[in-house]
Amino acid sequence: DAKTTQPNSMESNEEEPVHLPCNHSTISGTDYIHWYRQLPSQGPEYVIHGLTSNVNNRMASLAIAEDRKSSTLILHRATLRDAAVYYCILGSGAGSYQLTFGKGTKLSVIP
């Protein structure tokens, strides 16, 4: 399975933008890039996903490198509620129903 690499932790000041990086150098051409987050004591929550082009939604933006070997999740203005573990996951394979969660990046937001 294609793997992802993320920093263990990051900090951000409230109301500032946050850029969460993810490396996936073994990504294949048909793999989707998914981001989920898990707030304390809650289940994982979908954030965004993309294939090749950059994507925007109400929660975040996803910037995908041209060679697709890395991506960045962008939170435009971090709030205290954004403090969570963020997981970058590749949706890969023919029957790619399985989300293989790594350790993710624990984001702390400083008031």
Partner 1 sequence: DAGVIQSPRHEVTEMGQEVTLRCKPISGHNSLFWYRQTMMRGLELLIYFNNNVPIDDSGMPEDRFSAKMPNASFSTLKIQPSEPRDSAVYFCASSPGQGRRETQYFGPGTRLLVL
Q: Which stretch binds partner 1 (CB under 8 A): 4-12, 18-26, 59-67, 86-94?
A: 86-94
Determine if 15 is a binding residue for partner 1 (CB under 8 A). no
Identify the DSSP state of 57. Answer: -
- Selected from 40, 42, 58, 66, the binder of partner 1 by CB under 8 A is 42
Instruction: Say if CB 39 and CB 106 are below 8 A apart.
Output: no
Instruction: Say if CB 105 and CB 18 are below 8 A apart.
Output: no
- Selected from 23, 32, 55, 68, the binder of partner 1 by CB under 8 A is 32
Determine if 61 is a binding residue for partner 1 (CB under 8 A). no
Residues sharing a CB contact under 8 Å with residue 87, sequence separation 6 or more, in sequence order = 6, 35, 36, 37, 38, 44, 101, 102, 104
Whose tokens are 């900090």? That residue is 11
Determine if 9 is a binding residue for partner 1 (CB under 8 A). no
**Which one, 92 or 105, has the nearer CB to partner 1?**
92
Determine if 40 is a binding residue for partner 1 (CB under 8 A). no
Type of residue at 1: D
**Which residues contact partner 1 (rule: CB under 8 A)?**
30-32, 34, 36, 42-46, 49, 51, 91-93, 95-103
